Structure 1
Amino acid sequence: MTNVEWHGSSGTKSLRQTVEEVLDATMQEEFRHFDLHVDGRAAVRDENPEWPSYLASHRHEYVRTICDVLDFSRKTGAKRVLEIGAFFGLVCLTLKKFGLDVVAADIPEYMEMPEQIERFGRNGVTRASVRLQEYLMPFDDERFDIIIMTEVLEHLNFNPVPLIKEINRIGAKDSLFYLSLPNLAYYRNRVGFLFGKSMLQPIATYIEQVTPGSLEIVNGHWREYTKAEIAELLMCLGYRIERHYFFSIVDVLPNPTLKNRLTRLVFSLLPSFKENQTALAIRSNRSELPIYIPRTVHATLRSV
């Protein structure tokens, strides 16, 4: 595999333009036929051969994440990357093409699929099967310069504090913990709550996950967070917030409608009304937060 040249200027291309080109090429090369085999059940196929709909709908998020990570790498020389919740690995595969040393981690149901083993192996990306509720990560102390966890924290239905402490352990000093997730204070949540609507997981999704034949092995959002809550969680576990920002799909729509333009105007005045947020946290020290894990949380593990 030939690495993409990106540290210096490449003609008139910006980093974002280069990332978009490499990402799009990777999406078409690796996911032209998007098959999903889970728990030995029937395959789910995305019949669009050029732009798998799930990946295409999240393209703007992948571009933003990759640009942020490459910018940090360029400034610090960071090379060793772990993505927690890599899913099908589009971010990992793209970062690998930019010359980073990448490990993709996710639940065994994803990581041990034959097509995943072949895809990651062929592209030189290391796989790791993890269950985050076990709290222990199969990596040495200070193993990574960059740890990415996007659209994962909100899916956890257990206390995340021991997990974040474990992530702190495997991050090197001054490493980046890149955390992206929905914004609980999104304006639609605020308005809905005023009218008595819940901001939490719809009951129907609980039923869907346990319906025979369902492929919903990872349920929806058990707990979303505000900006202040993310800062509190990370700062008590050895991180400092280098940067935090809110983002929205409306920011990058190529042909915005009048409604989109009005929404952009509101968001420019009140960015905390946007639906998503990203925190770039630097590991300033090894967390020494005392932790006792009760048996009601984990059957055997008492501390991390």
Structure 2
Amino acid sequence: MAKEIVSENVKTAYDDFYKTHDEAWRMLGAKYKAYHIIDVCKGQSFKKVLEVGAGDGSILKKLSDYNFATEYHAVEISDSGVEHIKSRNIKNVVSVQEFDGYKLPFEDDSFDLIILSHVLEHVEHERLLLREIKRVSKHFVIEVPIDYKTNVDKRIKHFLAYGHINMYTPTSLRYLLQTEGFEVKQDLTSIIGPEVTRFNTFINQKKPDNIINKFKILAQFAVKNTLVELSDKLKERFANAYTVLCTKTDKQADIF
């Protein structure tokens, strides 16, 4: 697969992405992403794990701290991300490599599990990446933000600022996965926790840290958490992320 399949401006953007690094914010987000991975993998045991699009290694660091697996590998599109992962000296990380975004430098069925956490929303050719991860592993944990809402097209500038070029709901992600020969075994919808919202509100956005704003954050979380339990429709409307554990099958939809 040709390296130039990744647009040059995309590669440049991600090369620079981890040069300015907010450790506390990334590790806080990684804590909950790792919790989600562990949650959907309950009852399963994995030895050899690859994270594709590993960013700065925050999720791998958390998983390693929790003794999730015995061996970890990472691939990442950005130079700055690769260097940051290596600098962490994460326990049981065997290899960290830069890759072209689509072609994985591993043999068929090399891994027990591939983790793809908050990656697909950034990928220009998502089906090509899904076919490649299917080649090298048997199980997969995939998490995406639930960005799609009515009138999402009026917020293009907002989402592009985060590099989100694809929009998902739980239903649309399952459709994508099933038409590429994945079978969903476990799934989880989640809401951003108060701890993360407080950090984003008071540290990132520098809003007043007072009892009224703290109460609003807790109240909003409680309401959303109640609503998402009522129906699948409300889950798709109010949840913030969707996580699935998949296995590969021999099935793939005939596209045309």
After TM superposition, which residue ranges in structure 1, 4 or more long, deviate above 4 angstroms? 38-43, 203-206, 250-256, 287-291
**In the alignment, residue 220 of structure 1 is paired with which amino acid?**
G
* Offset from partner CA, 1:79-116 (integer Å, 9 cap, x none): 11011111121222333341421101111413442x53
How far does residue 271 in structure 1 lie from its aligned partner after superposition? 1.7
Q: Give the one of 134, 141, 146 matched to 1:183.
A: 146
TM-score by length of 2: 0.70
How far does residue 138 in structure 1 lie from its aligned partner after superposition? 0.6
Q: Does 1:232 align with 2:201?
A: no
RMSD: 3.3
* Offset from partner CA, 1:157-207 (integer Å, 9 cap, x none): x221122111111013xxx2111001244xxx23xx2xxx6255317956x
Pair 1:121–1:262, CA change in 2 (3 A): closer
1:279-290 alignment runs, 5 A limit: 279-285=244-250
Q: Does 1:140 align with 2:107?
A: yes
How far does residue 226 in structure 1 lie from its aligned partner after superposition? 2.3
Q: Give the one of 62, 67, 82 matched to 2:50.
A: 82
**Which structure's relative contact order is higher, taking Cα pairs within 8 Å and 6+ residues apart?**
2
How far does residue 252 in structure 1 lie from its aligned partner after superposition? 7.5
- The percentage of aligned residue pairs carrying the same residue is 22
Q: Does 1:128 align with 2:92?
A: no
Query: Within 2, Cα distance between the matches of 1:262 and 1:236?
Result: 34
Query: Within 1, Cα distance between the matches of 2:171 and 2:33?
Result: 22
**In the alignment, residue 246 of structure 2 is paired with which amino acid?**
A
Query: Within 2, Cα distance between the matches of 1:261 and 1:201?
Result: 29
Secondary structure at the aligned position of 2:85 is classed as: helix
Secondary structure at the aligned position of 1:161 is classed as: helix
How far does residue 120 in structure 1 lie from its aligned partner after superposition? 3.7
Unaligned runs of 5+ in 1: 1-37, 207-218, 292-304
* Offset from partner CA, 1:102-133 (integer Å, 9 cap, x none): 101111413442x533424775441121121x
Give the corresponding residue for 2:202.
none
Give the corresponding residue for 1:244.
187
8 Å contact kept, 1:178–1:278: yes
Q: Does 1:65 align with 2:37?
A: yes
Larger Rg: 1
Pair 1:251–1:109, CA change in 2 (3 A): same
Query: Within 1, Cα distance between the matches of 2:86 and 2:75?
Result: 12
Pair 1:44–1:118, CA change in 2 (3 A): closer
Give the corresponding residue for 1:31.
none
How far does residue 290 in structure 1 lie from its aligned partner after superposition? 8.4
Query: Within 2, Cα distance between the matches of 1:276 and 1:126?
Result: 28
Query: Within 1, Cα distance between the matches of 2:136 and 2:75?
Result: 13
Query: Within 2, Cα distance between the matches of 1:40 and 1:243?
Result: 35
Give the corresponding residue for 2:79.
109
Secondary structure at the aligned position of 2:121 is classed as: helix
Pair 1:129–1:245, CA change in 2 (3 A): same
1:183-262 alignment runs, 5 A limit: 183-185=146-148, 189-190=149-150, 193=151, 198=153, 201-202=156-157, 205=160, 220-250=163-193, 257-262=218-223
8 Å contact kept, 1:96–1:125: no
1:141-180 alignment runs, 5 A limit: 141-156=108-123, 158-172=124-138, 176-180=139-143
Unaligned runs of 5+ in 2: 1-13, 199-214
TM-score by length of 1: 0.61
Give the corresponding residue for 1:30.
none
Query: Within 1, Cα distance between the matches of 2:17 and 2:225?
Result: 43
Query: Within 2, Cα distance between the matches of 1:204 and 1:288?
Result: 31
Moved more, 238-247 or 58-67: 58-67
Number of aligned positions between the proteins: 218
Higher helix share: 2
Give the corresponding residue for 1:272.
236
**In the alignment, residue 146 of structure 1 is paired with which amino acid?**
L
* Offset from partner CA, 1:42-61 (integer Å, 9 cap, x none): 95354xxxx71332245322
Pair 1:125–1:260, CA change in 2 (3 A): same
